[in-house]
Chains A and B, each alone.
Chain A
Amino acid sequence: MPNIAHPAYSAATLLRLESLVPCRESQVSTLLSIFGERQQFSFPSIFIYGHTSSGKTYVMKTLLNTLQLPHVFVNCLEYFSSRLLLEEILIQLQSCSSETDQTSHVPCDTFNDFVRLFKQAVARQELQDQTLYIVLDRAEQLREMEANILPAFLRLQELTDRNVTVVLLSEIVWELFRPNTGCFEPLTLYFPDYSIGHLQKILTQNHPPEYSADFYAAYINILLGVFYMVCRDLKELQHLAALNFSKYCEPVVRGEANERDTRKLWKNIEPHLKKAMQTVYLREISSSQWERLQHEDGEPGQVKGLSAHTHVELPYYSKFLLIAAYLASYNPVRTDKRFFLKHHGKIRKTNFMKKHEKTSNHLLGPKPFPLDRLLAILYSIVDNRVAPTANIFSQITSLVTLQLLSMVGHNDQLDGPRYKCTVSLDFIRAIAR
């Protein structure tokens, strides 16, 4: 007896669907009951949200494909402008009908056009007796398009007077979508994160054909033990599982252990996985490099990660400019006289200073400073005389393009430009050495 039951579809189809969407049975059955039977009008718009890789896209796709419901599936990030998005929906509608292979290109600039063309397309396809589903993945992008797009999609059924349901998929909650002017409230549905048991079940489902499911399950168990703390992304876990499985099998292939010798296998794989967590998972070294290392049985120390190359070689004056910028960003202006002038007056401790001494300037972040101050500090920290040549000024600009400094405010060069130093203390220390 399948967990998902619906009078409109055959038990076999539902069983197949269930096998395809493990751990999401309840969500699917809710969706099915909202959808109703093919010819019935459904709720105009449904909003599905949940964390990254909680199976929103996958469930929707499998559901619609398995039940062979007419649908259009669009990623809003990929079709970044409203025009591209609307046109893409129309094109997919046309190809959906499969009467004519050639998709004639129809320009569609506004939502008004879209409604008109949509009606035409639906009429041509004899879809009147079925609900058409429009799925908009990454729907949060809709907020960045014209203001009318999102509300209009939400009540597309009403606007077109056709049997259509819009499904929005997003990672953020509906409250962040709601426009100021108010709109039609969609039906919201939450996809919870997969639990560790769910992950185990789903990952084990795709075991390699050469090995038994139990063997692979034991491997997944170890893998989750290491990675579950840092990563719950199903896709990433699957990727990591595939990457490291050959290493796990090694003792078995060599005949040193049999498939049930879990302790031995664990001893073999555990340090390896921990290393993987520090390198491949963070993309310090690429997966192909990782695989190559496995084949050659080399130590991962041989390939230096991306973070190992932190040293930046800079020209002499660029170094001093950067240090001066750092000093200007993190020291208050009134201490300049004390630090950079040879014959400064007495250091007077005022109440004002004491009050602020506790909050470190490093916690407050860099402050903007004018160009003149930067140059003044530069002249005082460089031993020999520095001529304010064109090269010095161009170096400041190139530091800005390298994102080591950043320009603050308006970009009028003549009007006393202000900068901020964006590098960390460690970086400055490395340079000053």
Chain B
Amino acid sequence: GCFVFKPSAKKRRVSQKTAYDFCKRNGDSEDAELQFVTCQSLWNQIKSETEKIQEDLNKQLFDNLVGFLRQSHSEIQEKTTEWTCQMKAREIPTAALVLGVNVTDHDLTFRSLSEVLQSNVTPYIALLEAKDCPGIKNLMQKLMGQLMNCYVDVDSEDEDCVQVSQNRIRCSMASLINWYKSATKKTDSETPGKKRTSSSRHWPSPPVVVIFKDMESFTTKVLQDFIFISSQHICELPLVLIFGIATSPMIIHSLLPHSVSSLLCIELFQTLSCKQHLSTIIDKLILTAQFPFKLGEKVLQVLINIFLYHDFSVQNFIKGFQLCIVEHFYSQPLSILCCQLEDAKERVNSLSHDQCENIRRLPSFRRYVENQASEKQIALLTEDDVLKETTKKLLEDLDVYHENYVTVLRCLHVFTSSLPKYPLGKQIRELHCACLENKVWETEEYESSLQLARMLNKSDLVTMLQQCVEIFVSSSGKEFDKAVEKLKHFLTRFQKLEAEAFQEQDESVSSQKELQKKTDLYHLQKALLELNESRRSKKLTKFELLRVEVVDYMDSLVRSYLVPADWKTLHEILYFNTASVLREHLNAAPRIALHTALNNPYCYLKNQALKSDGGSISNKAPDICIVYKLHLECGRLINLVDWLEAFATVVTAAEGSSTDAASSDQVDDIIHARFIRAVSELELLGFVKPSKQKTDHVARLTWGGC
């Protein structure tokens, strides 16, 4: 595998160039243009959708944080005269924000957080990163730079610039306080109109928010010093700290000693776990008929695996999704039809002959044709108009299929998610993957979950049925009126059963009473036998029968609606299924790539001369490959002289035995130079390094070096 991204497909800044790239691949400029436009509009839709989801998910957290920030200083400012407030130590209000280990997503969260704060609480926000603050001096510099710049942005320019440059020289807390005083005073004395707008959002003395983005990476000393200094001036400078924490809030205690943490008033805030976040994204982006573009089972699996196994990063998941879209539109010429149904129908009408041929070449379409009558087959294969009409119909089918699929999938998930041990997975995404992979009703897991479903108790079953009814009613599919009716019918029958059950209970009680009446041993025996008999024959109660009926009905729904997409005609247009490409791009293996390149240069250079059956070392390969192969045969320390000799032998091998005698005692200068260059190239790549243990030896750094 190679881990070089194809930049042409990803670059979208220069749209014309990208469109050009698209058509270079397909040779048809018009379609390429259309493909590009479709791709972009689809991506924009998805992007705005994801942003909206993100906003919704963060809303709760941000509201809490804003509330905390507002309260933190106003409380103390209000009642300064009270005894308790005078006696209490002024602590620095601190929000510990636990964000989870997906560090790549944090940037976005912080950006939107600072936007929210800027518009709701305070204009004075500083974002600090550990790598910028190795010492307290750098921290203060960075802090003041950010705070004062934001102030300049708000107000007039030239006058403040002087002030800023002057303050740069003395970056101490005192100058920060002076700046704060002048800044707040100025906003007060502004023009009344402007003041009203600003004061509606901010207070007369808005807090200064300092955000530590990555708490874990800060050195203890810097944090301690900063907290200590600012606690000395908390009365003059209303400071609020926000700690961005990736692991657990315990880190605060391990970073700060008690004497310092006692200066803080720490409250904890937690974001949604990233797994929940992913579920929401999948729910809104993939399990919906809203977007025409779909992911195939393998592709989805790759994306989810990267998420669960490697990074927990929702951003990366969305990036991967974007790559799928681009790759699909780039590689599939028929992807122009991957748009909303109405547009797709129009586009089918204007398809060129080549495109029609493309459709005919689709495996799923061929399968479809083979199942038709012979005249229809000929018409489909020869007449473009017939083909277009059929395509339209098939696309419509596909659209309906998607709508129904999602609804039935959700219903099935209602059932499977409450079964013990979750044979079909707890999450709906697992169920989705199972359904996409192959016919779900043929799998063992499905069988066992049906078995389990047949053992559900009544109350669970009834609530599930109610949930299913809700799902069906809220879905836009037209075919579910019958299903709703059927389910409602089931529900009423359950209610009836309940009523009957009461009666039955009465009956059984009465029979028991009868039993008690009989004192005669013979009669008693007879009655007991009868009872036993009746129980055995009545193996299934009415409830059990009904339960089986319900499960069977669900099974029939699954069989008719959850057909894997691979079985649908024309699925290639909407589904992106080349997982290998995605894996190559997103989960690259640099070590393996490097090894292949050096061990088998033909793989990348495609030079016929280099084609070898492995094992032997060809002298036509680049020098570095020869040196590399030779070094693979050595141990931890490599003798340079031996290495050089081996190299010379390989290089001169093909030149015949004539020069053999000469080279045996004196190595050619040119070969020597080539060798030295190749070795230093290897050193640059990190395979060897000069060793201190023995002179004229180098140490291997990789693979079995120990």
Contact = CB atoms under 8 A, between A and B. Distances in A.
A390 B83 contact: no
Interface in A44-96: 52, 75, 77-81, 84, 87-88
A239 B251 contact: no
Interface string B1-23: 00100000000000000000000
Interface stretch (A126-134, A162-170, A400-408): A400-408
B170 A105 contact: yes
B485 to A, nearest CB: 44
Interface stretch (A20-28, A151-159, A313-321): A313-321
Contacts of B87: 206, 238-239, 241-242
A309 B262 CA distance: 19
A81 to B, nearest CB: 7
Interface stretch (A180-188, A270-278, A279-287, A359-367): A279-287
Given A84-B170, A387-B592, A239 B89 contact: yes
A283 B686 CA distance: 48
Interface in B492-529: none
Interface stretch (B43-51, B583-591, B627-635, B650-658): B583-591
A288 interface: yes
B265 A388 contact: no
A287 B265 contact: yes
Contacts of B686: 414-415
B456 interface: no
Interface in A120-165: none
A88 B174 CA distance: 9
A395 B311 contact: yes
B253 A307 contact: yes
B701 interface: yes
B273 interface: yes
Interface string A377-418: 000000000011111111100100111100000000011100
Question: Of residues B3, B71, B253, B265, which shows the largest number of chain A Cβ atoms within 10 Å of its Cβ?
Answer: B265
A213 to B, nearest CB: 13
B161 to A, nearest CB: 17
A52 B228 CA distance: 14
B166 A105 contact: yes
Contacts of B166: 105
B259 interface: yes
Nearest to B699: A416
Given A317-B310, A390-B590, A401 B217 contact: yes
Contacts of A415: 686, 689, 701
B701 A414 contact: yes
B705 A372 contact: yes
A306 B252 contact: yes
Contact of A235 (B89, B253, B264): B89
Interface in A206-261: 206, 208-210, 233, 235-236, 238-239, 241-243, 245-246
B80 to A, nearest CB: 14
Interface in B566-597: 587-592
Nearest to A245: B84
B3 A239 contact: no
B663 to A, nearest CB: 34
A351 interface: no
Interface in B79-104: 83-84, 87-89, 91, 93-94, 96, 98, 100-101, 103
A289 B264 CA distance: 12
A236 B262 contact: yes
A350 interface: no
A233 B263 CA distance: 13
Nearest to B72: A288
B306 A391 contact: yes
A388 B592 contact: yes
A348 interface: no
B261 interface: yes
Interface string B684-706: 00100100000000000110011
A358 B706 CA distance: 29
Contact of A391 (B84, B248, B311): B311
B215 to A, nearest CB: 10
B639 to A, nearest CB: 20
B310 A80 contact: no
B137 A80 contact: yes
A310 B83 contact: no
A333 to B, nearest CB: 9
Contact of A78 (B100, B101, B172, B591): B172
Contact of B589 (A210, A236, A387): A387
B587 A389 contact: yes
A239 B100 CA distance: 33
Contacts of B170: 84, 87, 105
Given A84-B170, A310-B250, A395-B311, A401 B214 contact: yes
Contact of B308 (A283, A316, A392): A316
B312 interface: yes
A342 interface: no
B169 to A, nearest CB: 8
A326 to B, nearest CB: 16
Given A77-B228, A401-B216, A402-B216, A309 B248 contact: yes
A312 interface: yes
B101 A390 contact: no
A267 interface: no
Nearest to B703: A372
A314 B229 contact: no
Interface of B: 3, 71-72, 75, 83-84, 87-89, 91, 93-94, 96, 98, 100-101, 103, 136-137, 166, 169-170, 172-174, 214, 216-217, 225, 228-229, 232, 246-253, 258-259, 261-262, 264-268, 270, 273-275, 306-312, 587-592, 686, 689, 701-702, 705-706
Q: Closest 4 A-B residue pairs measured CB to CB?
A: A414-B686, A242-B87, A391-B310, A306-B249
19 contacts: A52-B259, A107-B169, A206-B87, A208-B83, A233-B262, A238-B87, A242-B83, A282-B258, A288-B75, A306-B266, A307-B253, A309-B248, A315-B310, A318-B310, A388-B591, A390-B3, A401-B214, A401-B216, A415-B686
Interface of A: 52, 75, 77-81, 84, 87-88, 105, 107, 206, 208-210, 233, 235-236, 238-239, 241-243, 245-246, 282-283, 286-289, 304, 306-307, 309-318, 370, 372-373, 387-395, 398, 401-404, 414-416
Given A105-B166, A315-B101, A316-B309, 7 more contacts: A208-B84, A238-B87, A282-B258, A316-B310, A389-B588, A395-B311, A401-B216
